[in-house]
Structure formats: C-alpha cells, structure tokens
Amino acid sequence: MPVNPLLALVNGRVVDDHLPREGLAVLVRGKRIVALVADNDPRLADAQRHDLQGRLLLPGFIDVQVNGGGGLLFNDAPTVETLRGIAQAHRKFGTTGMLPTLITDTAEKMREALDAVDDAIEQRIPGILGIHVEGPFLANARKGIHNADLFRYPDESDIEALTAPHRGAVMLTLAPDQVSPITIARLSEAGVIVVAGHTAADYATTRAALDAGVRGFTHLYNAMTPLSSRDPGVVGAALDDPHSWCGLIVDGHHVHPAALRVAIAAKTRGKCVLVTDAMPPVGSDNPTYTLNGQTIVMRDGICQSEAGVLAGSGLDMAGAVRNAVQMLGLPLAEASRMASSYPAAWIGLDRTHGRIAAGYRADFAVMDDTLTVRETWVDGIAYAVN
C-alpha cells in the first residue's frame, strides 16, 4: 500500500464558495487536497472512499481567539500539554486551526506562552497555528475582565519577545491610546499582527493606529469606545476602514444581532471574522473556572463573574456558524467563509488554509443539517465527534 494513498471523500454536499453542491468528491493525499472532482471521475476507481453520508463538508474552522477549552485555561499553564488539550476540546466543534490566546499576564508568562506555542508547532500538535497575546498593553477604562494591575506599556524586552522569529502567527491586541504609532509600526513591520481592543481611544487616535499598522479589531463593539453622531470612536473607525478585519462574537450575549448585521453590512466583504473568545467550559462538563482570582460561572452559555462582568464566552465555532445562519440570517456559505477563509487571510494563511481547493490543507468540518459537527479532519486525518 502506498505511504500516502489517495483518499476520496464522497457522498457529501460541499460548501466552498457556493451553495452546498452535490455530485462532487474531494480527493486527498496526505495532508493536502489534490482535487475537487465529479463523483464519476475515473480517479475515484483507485482511491479509498470515505462516505460522508450526505452531510455537509465545510472547510475547517479557524478561531483566532481561544482562551481555553476542555476545562483548561491557557494562562493557568502555558504548556504544550495545555495546548494539546484545548485543541482537542475545540476539535469536537469543527475547529481545525486556532490561535491560543493569553489574557493579560506578566512578562514572564507571556514569554512562556510564546515558547509553548513554538514548541507545540514544532511537535505538530494538530490545529495550533500561532498565538494571540491579548494585553497587557490595554486601557484601564475598557479593561473588561482583564487584571488592570498588570497593564503596562511595552518595553524593549516585550518588543524583542514578540518580534523574535516564531513558528506561527503572532497576533497582539493592544490599546492605541496606550501604545504609540511608532511602536505599532515597529511591531507591524516585524510581522506581528497588531489589532486594537480594550481601548478608550477616539476616532483620530484609532485612525492613526490603523495608518501605523493596526490590521484589525478584537471582539468588535466590546471593550471599546462606541460609534456616536459626533464621536465615531473605535467602532466608527473600524467600520469606516475598508482594509481591517473585525472579530465578531456571535453568541447573542456579547453583541445584539442587529449591531452585528450593521457591522457585516458596513465592512468590506471578507473582513468580518467569527471568533469564540472561548473559555474552559467549552468542551467540558464543568461550568466553573477561576480567572484573576475571581470565580467565573457559565450559565446559559454566558460566562460572567459574580459582579456580572463578561469573562470570555462559552461559544464554540460550530455554534458561531450556526448562530450566523439562524440569528443573523446569513447564507451558510458566507458563515462558513467567516469561520475559515476570512480568518485564514487575517493571519496570512489564505494560500494554504480555509478553502476546499487543490493544494490546500485537508482540514474539514463535516456537519449535519442541524449544523452540528459529526467529523473533524485535520491534515487529512479524521477525528470522530461523539
């Protein structure tokens, strides 16, 4: 038997850039898609067949904001084993790629997290594409659940750690009112994906940060200055800018559905991305966790402190796609792109990830008609979902 036999995924409905299409087969060899062909293509005769049983075949989901899952929080133990467990928990929900996210912490913890992600990628832990460092260069006025006692300005050692060669993408959420355009430009030019969040900046400050290299916005609307008639704020700058990406938490709690629809209508197509901001209860039976010494409880999918402050979410990517279709009224193909090809573009992987096309990674989410994940494929390997 060949080392990398040809595999054919058949009897599915392929969701790529169009409506779900029948009569197609996806040919896979090793970690890559070879071709998308008619189901009577002669190459199928020599291929091993995998029957999708009429289900939907979507590109695997890419989540650029994952704090935890499976009962694990990245901040608690930034190790390869923690990353393995978080990725495994989210794989149940169609997530085939992620940026594990470190919430505001010490400089030492940030370095440990950067090293852990590098090691995980070197060890080929499925699904780890890089890291998202959310803080500590944030604004106290828009701190959310972050520990403001740890907020600070980036120094040379921070910049050196973030801009050193890394094996995956490095995304950094910072507040433009706390970090100068010069520093933003320096980070961006070194390859860091700089995004704005947890900020009290006005429109002009945010616009200057965009010009300096800010490429997106972390959980749009939340923890930032709002749009108003004479003061557009961070939200206005985000919606006005045609080039930047916006992460959207579509859980029905963080942002009203109407506000989400406004953002999607305002932004250039391809610039709104589904994210989860997921916490340890995702993929776990335990609804409780500790963050910054506070007990957080998930009830009805809402993660909150005792004071009622939102602390991430209990959302998974399959739920985000489902909500985008059912709550926002988006076509399934567009919701799928917001969970796959658009985030891949944001982190610079759009030539290899996020599409069902020849040459792309064989990462798939197999869903039934209720948009529940039944199988997840990472690098051409199928993972059954209970």
Quote the mean pLDDT of the chain.
96
What pLDDT sits at residue 272?
A: 98
pLDDT one-digit tens code per residue, 351-365: 999 999 999 999 999
Owner of token pair 């040379």: 156
What pLDDT sits at residue 234?
A: 98
pLDDT one-digit tens code per residue, 191-215: 999 999 999 999 999 999 999 999 9
Say whether the peptide bond before residue 136 is cis (omega within 30 degrees of 0): yes
17-21, 80-84, 236-240, 366-370: segment of lowest average pLDDT: 17-21
- Separation of alpha carbons 20 and 236, rounded Å: 35
> What does DSSP assign to residue 75?
T
What pLDDT sits at residue 98?
A: 98
Confidence at 384, pLDDT banded by 50, 70, 90: confident
Torsion of CA 286, 60, 264, 86, to 10 degrees: 30
What pLDDT sits at residue 54?
A: 96
What pLDDT sits at residue 99?
A: 98
Share of the chain above pLDDT 90, in %: 94
Residue 7 has pLDDT above 80, yes or no: yes
What pLDDT sits at residue 292?
A: 87
Within 8 A by CB and 6+ apart from 305, the residues are: 145, 291, 294, 295, 296, 311
Confidence at 2, pLDDT banded by 50, 70, 90: low
Buried b (16+ CB within 10 A) or exposed e, 295-334: ebebeebbbbeeeeebbbbbbbbbbbbbbbbeebebebbb
Torsion of CA 196, 198, 204, 210, to 10 degrees: 0
For the beta carbon of residue 67, count every other beta carbon within 10 angstroms.
Answer: 27
Considering 177, 277, 316, 363, which one is annotated as catalytic? 277
**First and final C-alpha spacing in the chain:** 30
Pick from 373, 359, 321, 315: which is nearest to 342 by CA? Answer: 321
Q: Where are the domains of the chain?
A: 6-58+356-384, 60-346
Residue 1 has pLDDT above 90, yes or no: no
Owner of token pair 């950067």: 114
Asked if 159 and 183 touch (Cβ cutoff 8 Å), the reply is: yes
Of residues 310 and 263, more confidently modeled = 263
What sign does the CA torsion over 3, 56, 334, 340 have? negative
pLDDT one-digit tens code per residue, 272-329: 999 999 999 999 999 999 998 899 999 988 999 988 998 999 999 999 999 999 999 9
Helix axes 203-212, 233-240, angle to 10 degrees: 40
pLDDT one-digit tens code per residue, 11-50: 999 998 777 899 999 999 999 999 999 999 999 998 999 9
What pLDDT sits at residue 264?
A: 98
Asked if 274 and 260 touch (Cβ cutoff 8 Å), the reply is: no
Residue 3 has pLDDT above 90, yes or no: no
pLDDT one-digit tens code per residue, 55-88: 999 999 999 999 999 999 999 999 999 999 999 9
Kindly write down the DSSP assignment for every residue of 164-229, as one continuous string.
S--SSEEEEEE-TTTS-HHHHHHHHHTT-EEEE-SB---HHHHHHHHHHT--EESSTTTTBPPP-S
What CATH number was assigned to the domain covering residues 60-346?
Answer: 3.20.20.140
277 among known catalytic residues? yes
Extract the tokens encoding 213.
């290299």
- Distance, C-alpha 229 to centroid of its chain: 31
What CATH number was assigned to the domain covering residues 6-58+356-384?
Answer: 2.30.40.10
Residue 254 has pLDDT above 70, yes or no: yes
Asked if 335 and 300 touch (Cβ cutoff 8 Å), the reply is: no
Residue 332 to residues 22, 77, 364, Cα–Cα distance (Å)? 15, 36, 15
Share of the chain above pLDDT 70, in %: 99
Extract the tokens encoding 241.
């800018």
Confidence at 4, pLDDT banded by 50, 70, 90: confident
What sign does the CA torsion over 115, 120, 123, 124 have? negative
For the chain, the helix, strand and coil percentages under 3-state DSSP, each to the nearest 5: 30, 30, 45
Pick from 158, 167, 156: which is nearest to 133 by CA? Answer: 158
- Separation of alpha carbons 70 and 188, rounded Å: 33
